[in-house]
Each structure stands twice: as structure tokens, then as C-alpha cells.
Amino acid sequence: MADDYFDTTLTAMEQLLLGTKIAVEHFNGRFHSIHGEPIAEVEIRGLWDHAVVMDSTTVARLLMIPDSSSVAFGKFAEQEDGAPAGFSARFCNAYTRDDETNSVIAFMDNDGAMVSIESLYVQRIMLNVLAPKYFCTVAFGLMAITAYRHGFRKISLFAAGSGKELAGDPDALAGYDVWPKFGFDAPLMRVDLQRNALHALKDCQSVQEVLAIVPQWWADNGTPREMHFDLTADSRSWDILLDYLTAMLDKGEV
């Protein structure tokens, strides 16, 4: 069935991303098992009512797996850190921080009574200083577009770090600040706005509402929380991500 949003909006951005040096050199589905065996296709079980086989290139872009990664796939139970049960890819490569393992989970999420939707959970993406500039930006852009193509409706994660931590430690985690730039959002409680309170923000109910008014306030005062990217067509998440990707591409640095 035709999808006007994909055809008129996402296809063009996908082609631009695939033309970047980062995508050309790092997202071709050339990864291997933990035993060093090349993986050409992946069978995903437990997400739909039947197993789905995807080629390695699709899987690489859907789950943000760079070339030359060592990958372990499998169905995992719910994790202690709150990550959902689902089909997981755990992988390491030259751009993974020492002693870390990156992980993305595909799972069925409850979206209201008796309704389940295909979702992705970015459990852990920890890059080291060797990763090229905009590496994660290109990787996430390809993830979101590939996820949309295959019927996923939401991407979730826990955005770690805080303005207080980042101000005192240049190596502190900054997910709370970075992921909203890609279109992720989360609701706010009144207490969230009481740190260095600004009258202009008193009625804000989400992170994106704060960013639309005083973006620097969130960078300085934001805190960690669960965030979501809405993959449905024409969502605010897409508007923010596509604007961010366009600005990145206009710089000509990828």
C-alpha cells in the first residue's frame, strides 16, 4: 500500500543520509557473530505472529549496528534497568567505549487497552572518541526511517545525565540533552521546572515545549528520564529530526 509520507518526505532524506561518508563506510550490514562468522540475514522471532527474516543491511540500519561489529542476537527477558523483553542485538565495534556493549531491542509495546505496537528500545549506545562527528546522528536517522518503513510506531530510551552533571564533568553522559535534538520528548512534572525557575516556562508540559522557548534552560537544568520518538507520519518528532538532519547535511561535514 502506498505511503505518501514515506514517498514524499522520508525517501529523499534516506537517500541523502545513505550518500554520506558515514553511511557509505559504516552501515552496509557487514557485521559478524561473536565467533567471527559473517551474518547475511537475521531471523527475528517473538515480535510478530511469525518469524521475519531481514537482510543484514536492513538490520544494521534498523538497530544502529555499524560494519565490523561483533553481534549477539537473541530474545531476552525484561532487564533490571527497565529495558523491555524482546529481540535484542548486543554489539561492540571500534567505536564502542571500553568495557561497554551497545544494545537495541525490538519489542511489542502496549499502546492503550488491547493494542500493541511495534517498538524499538535503545538500551545502550556508548561511543568513544574515535567515532566520527555526526556518527550517531546519521545512525539514528537511518534507524528511524528504516523503522517507519517496517511498521514500527515508537522508539524509546532512557536519556541519561543531567545539566548539573555535565557542568562539572566533560565526560558525563549527555543523553538528556542530545536525544531531544533528534525529536525525542517526555512529559514534565511541576518539580522539573522549579530548578532555576523561569516564568516563561511555567506552563510547559514537555521537554520539547521547554526547548521551543528557552533551549539553553534544558541544557543547564535538564534531568534524566524515559523519552520517546513518535514514528507516526507527520509527528512533531519527525519534524524536529528532519530539521536537525537537514541542518547537519547543509554543513557539508558528513
* pTM of the complete model: 0.94
∠ CA(219), CA(225), CA(226), 5° rounding? Answer: 125
For the segment 220-240, the average pLDDT, to the nearest whole number, is 97
pLDDT at 203 over 50: yes
Identify the pLDDT of residue 242: 98
Question: Are the C-beta atoms of 53 and 42 separated by less than 8 Å?
Answer: yes
pLDDT digits (tens, 9 = 90+) for 6-39: 999 999 999 999 999 999 999 999 999 999 999 9
DSSP bridge partners of 70 = 32, 92
pLDDT at 1 over 50: no
pLDDT at 198 over 70: yes
Identify the pLDDT of residue 38: 97
pLDDT digits (tens, 9 = 90+) for 39-97: 999 999 878 888 899 999 999 999 999 999 999 998 877 676 778 989 999 999 999 99
Torsion sign across C-alpha atoms 126, 254, 93, 62: positive
Identify the pLDDT of residue 5: 95
- Among 75, 74, 43, 72, smallest CA distance to 56 is for 43
Instruction: Provide the mean pLDDT of the chain.
Output: 93
- Among 235, 223, 252, smallest CA distance to 148 is for 235
C-alpha cell at 23: 553511511
Identify the pLDDT of residue 83: 86
Identify the pLDDT of residue 81: 74
Alpha-carbon separation of residue 218 from 28, 98, 161 (angstroms): 36, 29, 12
Share of the chain above pLDDT 70, in %: 96
The CB-based long-range contact list for 109-116 (8 Å cut-off, 24+ gap) reads: 109/84, 109/154, 109/156, 111/153, 111/154
103 three-state secondary structure: strand
pLDDT digits (tens, 9 = 90+) for 131-163: 999 999 999 999 999 999 999 999 999 999 998
**Cell 537517500 found at:** 15
For the segment 96-100, the average pLDDT, to the nearest whole number, is 94
Identify the pLDDT of residue 80: 67
- Where b means 16+ CB within 10 Å and e means fewer, 223-234 reads bebebbbbbeee
**C-alpha 248, offset from chain centre:** 17
